[in-house]
Structure 1
């Protein structure tokens, strides 16, 4: 992870992101000044840029993102859950708030779309997403974009997707209006991974408890080798402070249905997933962030992924039948742009 320091310098390796029509997007800024960080605490869009530029180069590692069968199956599973009979492939798809391209690039690898566009408010994320797309040999362009004012023409895309993005956007309804504007008539959007209000509550408390327990227990003599250097722990704490600013909303399925309908979408449907899986996943990810990476080998990776799969089975085959959707961690939403 790149530390936020007091020098606002640009790494010579950082390149501007060139967009269509000779437009040049701003370069990534992974080295924010302390003044910028302080300003970001009062400006959520600045916080989005600084936080995600800061994390862009290490984001895939932090969240165990890959572009292999594991994540291809996961991404496709989200689409199939909310849209099991999608008329594949879509011609051109866009990812809103793409991050490193996790959702769209893996969907494209599974045959969901032929051509893609990645957009994010963070130049650093767009740069990494385009690099990932190039490495995968996918036909993808990219733009630095504010989700409330998407820099593409009307009626451009057949599909718009996003994963864990709507909760970062100040005006979600306005962003959905923009999504509908850039969709072709009859085009569809699918957003997954949005935190529910109940899920966000228990995930944050589980994470805080895990962080406190791990960072204190590893102060003890026999376990000191399991403690990250204090500078790295302090850095993670600073990241958490900005993360609290960039995570703006939580939703119930009904909230997202209402916002999508108000924005003008038709055929609006929602779904929810991950309860037991989230209660395992958040402590696991927090523990991984609190201990040296070299302490965690393939055995841990097998436990984490295998445990998540078993808890997902429990969610889908047992808990989904008896627990109301609002208590699951992730909310999914889909809708269609009306035909003219």
Structure 2
């Protein structure tokens, strides 16, 4: 019988106030609240679109010479997006997931069961991974390192649970410069969208702005859960200090992020379903085209620190 704590999707006012000064508690409460709607919010799926996305992120920074791996772990799994799609792409046949949020672990395990994947899961702090030394051939994570207070300590734990020669790959981490322009583009888009939709002819395009109540207080912790933004060189240095070998950081999404953040913000500002499938395909294909330009053209001339997403890989030194 599992000894993992139960999810807390409806935080109390006292818990939210305490979480403002405790980043780990903030991440638990916020992500427990988001677990049920997270896939919809970020347009996450477990079909060819996201399978290709996950596999491409892994191969972009680490290649695929060692595929398939034996046993894989996802750190800070969320709903399982990265590992489950990588497993469907052939990364590994057996996997484990961990997250500080019980709600996210439950969601990831439900998704794995629905997909027929061999995955177990534990509620766990990334700085204290509850698996034995040398348990995994590969450890992955997506948009997780920036939530962890002690990134170097977490990477030391990753190296501990890896077998000698095993690899880690973390993707989806915000860069310092990328976070600067993405947040400002998002804020400008939100202000423009919510202002224009106040006009009487456009009020049908305005999403109702609900007051926070006992069922959604944790939403206020969104500004607390992010702990870091990274410079790619600093991210490499952190991984090396943790003891990793063959460390490499890469970046992606420059013009694609300048499109993607306004698009996501606009979608959040209008009623669900209002934009339809034609909009969704336009946004996705435009992002794909700009991502190709970023990776194949602009990466040759634009400094890597200007791109929005950072990825990092390394290996555990062989004995």
Mark yes or no: TM-score above 0.5. Answer: yes
TM-score calculated relative to the size of structure 2: 0.97
TM-score calculated relative to the size of structure 1: 0.91
CA contact (8 A) 1:233 1:290 kept: no
1:190-237 Cα offsets, whole Å, 9 max, x none, are 0011100000011111111111111111111001001111217999x9
1:40-70 Cα offsets, whole Å, 9 max, x none, are 1111001000110000000000000000000
2:124 to 139, 145, 161: 145
Query: 1:295 is paired with a residue of what secondary structure?
Result: coil
Residue 116 in structure 1 maps to residue 95 in structure 2? yes
CA contact (8 A) 1:31 1:54 kept: yes
Give the paired residue count. 318
2:273 to 270, 289, 294: 294
Residue 51 in structure 1 maps to residue 30 in structure 2? yes
1:314 to 281, 288, 293: 293
Q: Distance in 1 between matches of 2:259 and 2:219?
A: 20
Aligned residue runs from structure 1 range 159-178, under 5 A:
159-178=138-157
Residue in structure 2 matched with residue 198 of structure 1 by the alignment = 177
Return 5+ residue gaps in structure 1 as ranges. Answer: 1-21
Residue in structure 2 matched with residue 127 of structure 1 by the alignment = 106
1:103-147 Cα offsets, whole Å, 9 max, x none, are 000000000111000100000000000000000000000000100
Q: Distance in 2 between matches of 1:172 and 1:134?
A: 30
Query: 2:166 is paired with a residue of what secondary structure?
Result: strand
Q: Distance in 1 between matches of 2:2 and 2:193?
A: 47
1:141-168 Cα offsets, whole Å, 9 max, x none, are 0000100111111110000000010000
Runs of 4+ in 1 over 6 A off after TM superposition: 232-235, 237-240
Aligned residue runs from structure 1 range 1-340, under 5 A:
22-231=1-210, 241-340=220-319
Query: 1:279 is paired with a residue of what secondary structure?
Result: helix
Q: Distance in 2 between matches of 1:79 and 1:86?
A: 11
CA contact (8 A) 2:77 2:108 kept: yes
